[in-house]
A and B are shown apart, each in its own frame.
Chain A
Amino acid sequence: GENVEQHPSTLSVQEGDSAVIKCTYSDSASNYFPWYKQELGKRPQLIIDIRSNVGEKKDQRIAVTLNKTAKHFSLHITETQPEDSAVYFCAAGGGAGNQFYFGTGTSLTVIP
């Protein structure tokens, strides 16, 4: 099955700085890579996603890059704000059953 690794597990940045979270996956059949933001006690919210036929996607302060050959993808948040503080999960999926397999999560703290 799919194995998704995520680093770092915790990340603290000053407000206004950038944050980068990296994930690797193992199953070459995975072709869809979403990123979710989860605040304490709440549901995961999709913030951006990328498909395997695209190398990079940007949405305002958030961008995701994908290197399918190396099987890794990254989330970039620029000009971070305190409200960006949350746990971020990457996931890989889109195979035959469309299951998602999640990374271990990154707890991001943006220091005002």
Chain B
Amino acid sequence: GAVVSQHPSRVICKSGTSVKIECRSLDFQATTMFWYRQFPKQSLMLMATSNEGSKATYEQGVEKDKFLINHASLTLSTLTVTSAHPEDSSFYICSARDLGRTDTQYFGPGTRLTVL
């Protein structure tokens, strides 16, 4: 149980384009999902908290107009990187909080974004 999927696993795009990443909880409902960014050999940096049916909460320093988050259902959250630039290249990982286990977060497999 507690499986989280993420799509795509890898994406390469040109500078200036937008990229959408999907995060799904497959076997549980998640009113809250989280988006992280991880640079090589570094820690997971929380970008934003995605709440089903309401606006996302962004961490300080994260541009909400650049990283658009939509949490349309209890099993799906999307992160759209708008007008991507090479410095946005990173590993993006989502996690979902299991309602049945209030604290535990389960992570998706991550999306490797490369912006040329």
Contacts and interface: CB of A to CB of B under 8 A. Distances in A.
Given A43-B93, A46-B104, A102 B43 contact: yes
Interface residues of B, number: 24
Interface in A21-61: 32, 34, 36, 41-46, 49, 51
What is the interface residue range for chain A against chain B? 20 to 34
Contacts of B42: 104-105
Contacts of B103: 32, 34, 49, 51, 93-94, 98
Interface string A95-109: 001111111110100
B44 A89 contact: yes
Contacts of A112: none
A82 to B, nearest CB: 20
A55 B89 CA distance: 40
A89 B106 contact: no
B43 A103 contact: yes
A104 B60 CA distance: 18
Contact of B102 (A45, A98, A99, A107): A98
The 4 residue pairs across chains A and B that have the minimum distance between CB atoms: A43-B107, A32-B103, A102-B44, A102-B43
14 contacts: A1-B59, A34-B105, A42-B110, A43-B93, A43-B107, A43-B109, A43-B110, A89-B43, A98-B103, A99-B34, A100-B95, A100-B105, A102-B43, A102-B44
